[in-house]
Amino acid sequence: MLYLGIDTSNYTTSAAVVSDDGTIVADSRLPVKVASGGRGIRQSDAVFAHVKNLPEVMAGIGDISSSLAAIGVSYAPRDIEGSYMPCFLSGVAAAKSVSATAGKPCLEFSHQAGHIAAAVCTAGKEELLNEKFIAFHVSGGTTDLMLVDRLNITQIGGTLDLNAGQAIDRVGVMLGLEFPCGKELEKISAPLDSVKPMSSVKGTECNLSGLENRAADMLKKGEAPENIAAFTLGSVLATLDKMCENAIKEYGKLPVVFAGGVTANKYIKDALEKKYSAIFTAPDYSRDNAVGIAYLTRKAVLGI
């Protein structure tokens, strides 16, 4: 049997299918376009973009009607009361439509749970979904530190102002890069040890707005773009490193999982993987995708 996942995060329209044995059968995505020089998109525009993208994305998974067991969809950003973004309504409408016509159950999960599941399952650590671990979700919309116990997610820290991905994108746009800027900032970056990073961490919480301000000041003073890029990425790394260190001190030496688009950065991945034996997935599954939602749907239906 096959399990369909749909995710309509702010910047990517996604659908994915996994089989009973956990094989990824299909993974179809289309980006939501942001105007050149822009630093984001309005929710109304994101909803409209997903509605336009969904037919092509769904066509990309092929005909699975004869083997479809269930449909899963991301309905909200996080597993907390009041978490809501209109862009997810596009995916919910599509998933419930498929469910109604196919006569198959539709299950709802948070976008964040999908990211965590994608990271864990595609890294070959699916057994962790039935255990306790520390998880980071680091993206343009989220910089959360969580304790995950059998997929019950409790936030134990995170940013108090800017998200890490926001800081990276704002600095990137400042340097004339196209949004989203993570990949391009990594490409132009000098070695991270060539500059001194900054971090503002208290316990398991952080502030990242100072990073943007410092980068703007560096640019104003004529600092080379590659050094500003290295400062930015190095500061995000230093921040995540300190938060992880403090979380382990408080909650014990549990497995650590990093999910979200920012964790696709090779400098961040290499450093934290080495220091904490942390679990990362391939960059393609760190970024927004519906693979994790498909895995969660399979897990729920099979009871594994």
Residue 141 CB partners (closer than 8 Å, separation 6+): 9, 10, 77, 163, 165, 166
Q: Nearest to residue 164, comparing CAs of 268, 55, 48?
A: 268
Banded model confidence at residue 39, pLDDT cuts 50, 70, 90? confident
Rounded to two decimals, what is the model's pTM?
0.95
3-state secondary structure 214-279: HHHHHHHCCCCHHHHHHHHHHHHHHHHHHHHHHHHHHHCCCCEEEECHHHHCHHHHHHHHHHHCCE
pLDDT score, position 10: 85
CATH number 3.40.50.880 is the correct assignment for the domain at 129-280: no
pLDDT score, position 254: 98
Burial grade of 287 (CB within 10 A; 0-12, 13-18, 19 or more)? buried
Q: Nearest to residue 106, comparing CAs of 118, 98, 115, 117?
A: 98
Residue with tokens 């996080």: 78
Digit-coded pLDDT (tens) for 223-265: 999 999 999 999 999 999 999 999 999 999 999 999 999 999 9
pLDDT score, position 35: 75
Taking residues 215-221, report their average pLDDT: 98
Q: Nearest to residue 107, comparing CAs of 232, 290, 277, 230?
A: 290
pLDDT score, position 225: 98
Whether pLDDT at 61 is above 90: yes
Burial grade of 141 (CB within 10 A; 0-12, 13-18, 19 or more)? buried
pLDDT score, position 41: 86
Ranges for all domains in the chain classified under CATH 3.30.420.40: 2-121+287-302, 129-280
What average pLDDT does the chain have? Answer: 96
Taking residues 58-75, report their average pLDDT: 97
Token pair listed for 193 = 């040890």
Whether pLDDT at 129 is above 90: yes
Banded model confidence at residue 162, pLDDT cuts 50, 70, 90? very high
Q: How many helices (H) and strands (E) does the chain have?
A: 10, 11
pLDDT score, position 142: 94
CA pair distance 99, 6, nearest whole angstrom: 12
Taking residues 274-278, report their average pLDDT: 98
pLDDT score, position 68: 98
In the chain, % of residues over pLDDT 70: 100
Whether pLDDT at 37 is above 80: no
Taking residues 142-169, report their average pLDDT: 97
pLDDT score, position 229: 98
Token pair listed for 265 = 């950065």
CA pair distance 137, 282, nearest whole angstrom: 15
Furthest-apart CA pair in the chain: how many Å? 63
Whether pLDDT at 125 is above 90: yes
Structural contact between residues 137 and 111, judged by C-beta atoms closer than 8 angstroms? no
Chain centroid, CA 13 distance in Å:
13
Banded model confidence at residue 139, pLDDT cuts 50, 70, 90? very high
Taking residues 139-166, report their average pLDDT: 96
From the candidate CATH numbers 3.40.50.720, 3.30.420.40, 3.30.1280.10, 1.20.960.40, the one assigned to the domain spanning 2-121+287-302: 3.30.420.40
